Amino acid sequence: MRNAWIIAKRELAGYFVSPVAYVFIVIFLVLMGFFTFMMGGFFERNDASLLSFFVWHPWLYMLLVPAVGMRLWSEEHRMGTLELLFTMPVTPAQAIIGKFLAGWLFLLVALLLTLPMVFTVQYLGEPDIGPILTGYIGSFLMAGAYLAISGLTSACTRNQVISFITALVVCLLLVLAGYPPVTNILLKWGAPSAVVDFAASLSVVFHFESMQRGVLDIRDFIYFFSLIVFAIFTTSVVLKSKRA
């Protein structure tokens, strides 16, 4: 674990010495604000909650998290530092987890910078703090799942553009699986409702929505963590087969 942490620290420092971190955070916050207030109708709702804020997270992350994850491994490939890292006395698992943690912590920093949103609703009304808290937890877990997937696509290619696009498409599928347009198509095709439910339950939106409403269900945790573990494990397989 110590080694994973050393790698995470190095990686995290790497975000902040380059403009990547600042550009990302500014764009993230501006878009968050724009969608919440302009598209989400924050004021028109006349409701002291952050629903109009959280509802955009699956979509915004889809665009932004792959941008963070795309460089995780393709950059190491390109710079040749992968050879350096994997000839040091660290296990691949330590390296993968370290890099993932760095990205996740970075996303956490970006997410925490949206806290003024919470202060805003608190100033304007008396929101229920429970759903806000669980919403943040859900958002953080979802960011982790997206990041793990982006890390996986990044391990597959040394081309960052390919990594970005692939991660975006996979995340898009995960979002769309639960949306009515998709589930309706399945229903129209005469799919049994069990199948439709299953497809919908694969969607991040399905699991994130209950968290926005203040429900902390162990199944949602299992869902996000199994996505993360699966992607990280597959990353290790891909990295190993690349060297074989």
Window contacting another protein (CB under 8 A); options: 74-82, 108-116, 140-148, 165-173: 74-82
7 interacts with another protein by CB under 8 A: yes
* Least distance (Å) between residue 143 CB and another protein: 23
Nearer to another protein by C-beta: 14 or 214? 14
* Least distance (Å) between residue 167 CB and another protein: 22
SS3 letters across the chain? CHHHHHHHHHHHHHHHHCCHHHHHHHHHHHHHHHHHHHHCCCCCCCCCCCHHHHCCHHHHHHHHHHHHHCHHHHHHHHHCHHHHHHCCCCCHHHHHHHHHHHHHHHHHHHHHCCHHHHHHHHHHCCCCHHHHHHHHHHHHHHHHHHHHHHHHHHHHCCCHHHHHHHHHHHHHHHHHCCCHHHHHHHHHCCCCHHHHHHHHHCCHHHHHHHHHCCCCCHHHHHHHHHHHHHHHHHHHHHHHHHHC
Site for another protein in 79-118 (CB under 8 A): 79-81, 83-84, 86-91
Nearer to another protein by C-beta: 45 or 240? 240
Window contacting another protein (CB under 8 A); options: 4-12, 27-35, 59-67, 116-124: 4-12
39 interacts with another protein by CB under 8 A: no
243 interacts with another protein by CB under 8 A: yes
Query: Which residues contact another protein (rule: CB under 8 A)?
Result: 3, 6-7, 10, 13-14, 17-18, 79-81, 83-84, 86-91, 240, 243-244
